[in-house]
Chains A and B, each alone.
Chain A
Amino acid sequence: MKRTKMILFGVFSTALFLLIFTAQSALAKTYMIGSSLAITGPTSDAGSPYAKGMEDYCKFSNDMKLLGRDKVKCIIRDDAYKTATTKRNFEDFMDQEMVIYLNYSTGSTLGLKKDFEEEEIPVLPASYHAGNLTGSNYILLPSASYSEQAIGLAEYVARNHKGGTPRIALFLHPSAFGRGPLSDVKKAIKAGLKVNLVEVVEHGKDLDNTAMIKRLLKKKVQYVISQTVQSPVATVLKDAKRLGKIATKFGQKGKLTFLGAHYTGGNDLIALAGKASENYFWTTAFTLTSEQSAGTDAQLAMARKYGRDSKTANSHNYTSGIMVMQIAIEAIRRVKAKGMDVGKKSVYKELLQMNGFNAYYPLTTVGPVTFGKDDRAGVDSLQLYVVKKGVFKAVGSPFVSKYAKMIK
């Protein structure tokens, strides 16, 4: 009798365990985050580590159960920088009930802007083009725009230049991505920023920039602010070095001091330009592994955990990829914490409440992520770095561009 009871008890408890286990699994939800990136094709040197950062943080959040029982399903697709493919990927994600969309290029972000509006889905692009925000409610820039970066660099030049108004040139990528800050820099100058914009150069695929460097020097240009990708900057730096026209210290007379925005710098620039990258000034909103902090330690540990090589682990694009995924998952976590259903509308609403005491500190950036109805750029602070002995070192504290705010 006792034995029968024992067997019955065993069967009953096993059944109960199985029931609880399956019920728990059934209750656990999966939220879809879609992403279309240029992992191959143009700018894939940035897109590939960016995708790896996103992928790793997605795995990390599931492994560490950041959303409790619930999980995120991150679909990361390659669009090879083709807007048509981006659109196809976006439609695919929408069919799968995506809650937030992580896009990449300026072209595709502008191209799909109307779709984002109609679908009312929050979008975090890798493009910090200020024009993304024009006529859009759902695009949120993860960090300060290219315009803010370029104006911030021009402000730094104006503050630290000795003797008269500094003469600057803009070195731009021949695309919407490159041209983005041009009109805003002009507006800032009109608003009182004390720099003299002498020339705007849209680079091609030149292998030699001797003529351009000589022309700029003839026009007494002392500072070149770049808004492009690393390889054209590396070519200019190497040519300036070869001609002996690269400034060895900031603002050296008769020489050129080079400065650049987010996508112009990073370790890839140092690898491409070698010693010519010494004294290159660069601004970004992200922490760098060459400047140790809690965030960079965590980043390197995560890269090790998921088997990334040293190049990827130390790339600022890897950091940027982690950061956008951090924002997305944090927004989902906050929606869940409020007991609301996780969907594109609730995630968007939560993102807009990420300010004040609710600001998000991802540790991968030099300032907090803040969004609001009138604030569509996440990290407003920027950090200036300069290459010293082959590594980027921080110059001063994080700053916020005064004139960028003024012209908004």
Chain B
Amino acid sequence: MSANRWLTTGNYFTSYQDEQRIFSTRLDKLIFIGFIVCLFAWPLLIKLSNRNMLVLDTILIAIVAVLGLNLLTGFAGLISIGHAAFVGVGAYTVASIIRLIGDDHVLVTHAWPLVIIVAGLVGAVVGAFVGLPALRLRHLYLLMATLSFQIIFQWIINFSTFFNQGQTISVGRVFWFTGKIVRKQHYVFWYYVILVAIVLLGLGVRNLLRTRYGRSLVAVRDNDRAADAMGMHPGLTKVYAFGLAGFLAGIAGALHAYLYRGVGFESFTLHHSIVYLAMAIVGGMGTLSGSFWGPAAIQFLELRVEDLAEKAGHYFPSNMNLSTALRPLTFGLVIVLFLMFEPRGIANWWRIVRSYVKLWPFRY
């Protein structure tokens, strides 16, 4: 290794511990800390509109959900097409509490961090339960099992009077040390909350992947028989992968409930499950950074397509029909193009950029 840990160009791993470090150089760590500080500081300097803050918050929530999906599908190799239902479990945990004690109860308005964690835990339990078929099913059959969960979830919500038959269940405004979070502060406040959640969960997942539990996910994905022979428990690993994904999805669902101040079944349909999967694919399956890139890219794409359709509408009289065609077309096209030409997703571009910068000024 270079004598100066600030100026190393390239990797100088001499042990497994070296290779498993979160930051390979001190510069990496400093850049990361600087980046996080910027993320926390910019809302104090720049004022975004409510609409843009909502978009940003929505992306951040999707990142939490896709982190879970990426653990499940990307790292553990267990295909799930019911991830929106897991997110829905988290949101409906908040809604259930509200149905029982009211949306202005102190538990909902003041102890909301606890409610969010409980939602994550409920998501984990449901996730582990839904993961039980993974002990016997693989590939397409497992996909069908998760699809069934999605359908069952939708059916239960839509027909159960307790869940207001899918109609919106309102969530009250929360309190912070500064008092009630009013409409003006709402989106910025939740930006910080979600950001904290992402930093903690992101570091948690990164750390998990360094441990034997994280590595066992990858081992089971690559060859579960070989993993079994090496002393891992493939069945348990699969169930706990579902549990982990359920936990992260549950957290995302609870955050969604608080951000949107309501829980309605329209936000957790099969379409949303497919969108989460698309985010994971476009971002990069089996990569941590892919969970960040994917939601941002898909949300950005959706907004741009909307703008394009609206602008085109000024030149074509029936802009609405154009919009009808543009949305599904671009969405489908992007997924197909990524699968064909960049199956490793945007995370691979990020990897290339990083390795170039890391080796600079040398080529290799």
Residues of A within 8 A of B (CB): 39-40, 44, 48, 51-52, 77-78, 80-84, 87-88, 91-92, 94-95, 107, 110-111, 113-115, 118-119, 131, 174-176, 179, 306-307
Please, which residues of chain B bring their CB within 8 A of the CB of A107?
A: 166-168, 264, 266
- Expressed in whole angstroms, the minimum distance between the Cβ of A313 and any Cβ of chain B is 13
Q: Does chain A have a CB within 8 A of B132? A: no
**In whole angstroms, what is the CA distance A44 to B183 when docked?**
31
Pull 19 A–B residue pairs with CB atoms less than 8 Å apart, ordered by A: A39-B320, A40-B320, A48-B324, A77-B310, A78-B306, A78-B324, A82-B266, A83-B168, A83-B260, A88-B58, A92-B51, A94-B51, A95-B51, A110-B264, A175-B158, A176-B165, A176-B166, A179-B165, A306-B317
Query: Out of A52, A115, A176, which one reaches B167, CB within 8 Å?
Result: A176
Docked-complex contact B167 and A44, CB < 8 angstroms: no
Cβ contact of B55, chosen from A39, A88, A179, cutoff 8 A:
A88
A83 contacts across to B, CB distance below 8 A? 168, 260, 262, 264, 266-267
Specify which of A39, A92, A111 is in contact with B324 (CB 8 Å cutoff). Answer: A39
Q: Which residues of A contact B309 (CB under 8 A)?
A: 78
Q: Is B9 an interface residue (CB 8 A)?
A: no
B170 within 8 A of A: yes
Residues of B close to A78: CB separation below 8 A:
306, 309, 320, 323-324
Q: Is B11 an interface residue (CB 8 A)?
A: no
- A84 and B49 in contact, given A78-B309, A78-B320, A78-B323 (Cβ under 8 angstroms): no
B168–A111 CB distance below 8 A: yes
Partner of B327, one of A40, A174, A175: A40
Question: Given the known A-B contacts A92-B51, A95-B51, are A110 and B260 also in contact in the complex, defined by CB atoms under 8 Å?
Answer: no
Task: List B contacts of A80 (CB < 8 A).
Answer: 327
A91, B260: Cβ atoms under 8 Å?
no
Residues of A within 8 A of B266 (CB): 81-83, 107
CA of A81 to CA of B165, assembled, Å: 17
Contacts A78-B309, A111-B260 given; 15 further ones with Cβ under 8 A?
Answer: A39-B323, A39-B324, A44-B324, A77-B306, A77-B310, A83-B266, A83-B267, A84-B58, A87-B54, A87-B260, A94-B50, A107-B167, A110-B167, A113-B168, A115-B261
Report how far A174 CA is from B266 CA in the complex, Å: 13
Given A78-B306, A114-B261, A114-B262, residue A175 in contact with residue B49 (CB < 8 A): no
B223 in the interface (beta carbon within 8 A): no
B324 surroundings in chain A (CB, below 8 A): 39-40, 44, 48, 78
Residue of chain A at shortest CB distance from B320: A39
Select one of B267, B317, B318 contacting A84, CB under 8 A: B267
Establish whether residues A91 and B310, one from each chain, have CB atoms under 8 Å apart when the complex forms: no
Distance between Cα atoms of A44 and B320 in the complex (Å): 10
Decide yes or no whether B330 CB sits under 8 A from chain A.
no
Complex: how many Å from CA A115 to CA B186? 12
Cβ of B50: which chain A residues have Cβ within 8 Å of it? 91, 94-95
Chain B residue nearest to A106 in the complex (CB): B167
Q: Which residue of B lies closest to A47 (CB)?
A: B320
The docked-state distance in angstroms from the alpha carbon of A114 to that of B165 is 19
Q: Does B321 contact A (CB under 8 A)?
A: yes
Are B320 and A48 interface neighbours, CB within 8 A?
A: yes
Size bracket, chain B contacts = 20 to 34
Proximity bits, B177-210, A CB within 8 Å = 1, else 0: 0000001000000000000000000000000000
* B28-67 contact mask (Cβ, 8 Å, vs A): 1 or 0: 0000000000000000000001110011001000000000
In angstroms, Cα B325 to Cα A80, docked, is 12
Question: Beta-carbon contacts of B313-351 to A below 8 Å, as 1s and 0s?
Answer: 000011011011001000000000000000000000000
In the bound complex, CA of A141 to CA of B183 (Å)? 25
Residues of chain B within 8 A of A84, CB atoms compared: 58, 260, 267
CB neighbours (8 Å) of B51 from chain A are 88, 91-92, 94-95
Q: In the complex, which residues of chain A have a beta carbon less than 8 angstroms from the beta carbon of B264? A: 83, 107, 110-111
Contacts of A40 in B (CB 8 A): 320, 323-324, 327
Q: Which residues of A contact B318 (CB under 8 A)?
A: 52
Knowing A78-B320, A114-B261 are in contact, say whether A91-B49 is a contact too (CB < 8 A).
yes
CB-CB under 8 A from B167, the residues of chain A are 107, 110, 131, 176
In angstroms, Cα B51 to Cα A77, docked, is: 14
What is the CA–CA distance of A110 and B57 in the complex, to the nearest angstrom? 22
- B310 and A307 contact, CB distance less than 8 A: no
| Docked pose: A79 CA to B318 CA in angstroms | 17
Instruction: Collect the chain A residues with CB atoms within 8 Å of residue B323's CB.
Output: 39-40, 78
A44: which B residues are within 8 A, CB to CB?
A: 324
Nearest Cβ in chain B — how far from A325, in angstroms? 15
- Residues in B neighbouring A52, C-beta threshold 8 A: 318, 320
* Residue contact B262 to A111, C-beta cutoff 8 Å: yes
With A77-B310, A83-B267: A175-B54 Cβ-Cβ less than 8 Å: no
List chain A residues, Cβ under 8 A from B317: 306-307
Bound-state Cα–Cα, A80 to B168, Å: 17
A107 to B262, alpha carbons, bound, how many Å? 11
Q: How near does chain A come to B87, taking the closest CB pair, in angstroms? A: 12
Distance of A402 Cα from B165 Cα, bound (Å): 29
A81 to B266, CA, bound (A): 8
Q: In the assembled complex, which residues on chain B have CB atoms less than 8 Å from the CB atom of A175?
A: 158, 165-166
Q: Which of A51, A131, A179, A306 is B320 in contact with, Cβ under 8 Å? A: A51
Note all chain A residues with C-beta closer than 8 A to B55. Answer: 88
Determine whether the beta carbon of B168 is less than 8 Å from that of A88. Answer: no
Q: 4 closest A-B pairs (Cβ-Cβ)? A: A92-B51, A111-B168, A91-B51, A176-B167
CA gap between A212 and B267 in the complex, in Å: 31
B327–chain A nearest beta-carbon distance, Å: 6
- List the B side residues contacting A131 at CB < 8 Å: 167
Assembled-state Cα–Cα distance A179/B160 (Å):
13
Chain A residues with CB under 8 Å of B183's CB are 115, 118-119
Residue in chain A with minimal CB distance to B53: A91
How far apart sit A307 and B317, CA to CA, in the bound complex (Å)? 8
Residue of A at shortest CB range from B323?
A78
Q: Contacts of A179 on B, CB cut-off 8 Å?
A: 165
CA–CA, A73 and B172, complex, Å: 33
Interface code B152-180, partner A: CB below 8 Å = 1, 0 otherwise? 00000011000001111010000000000
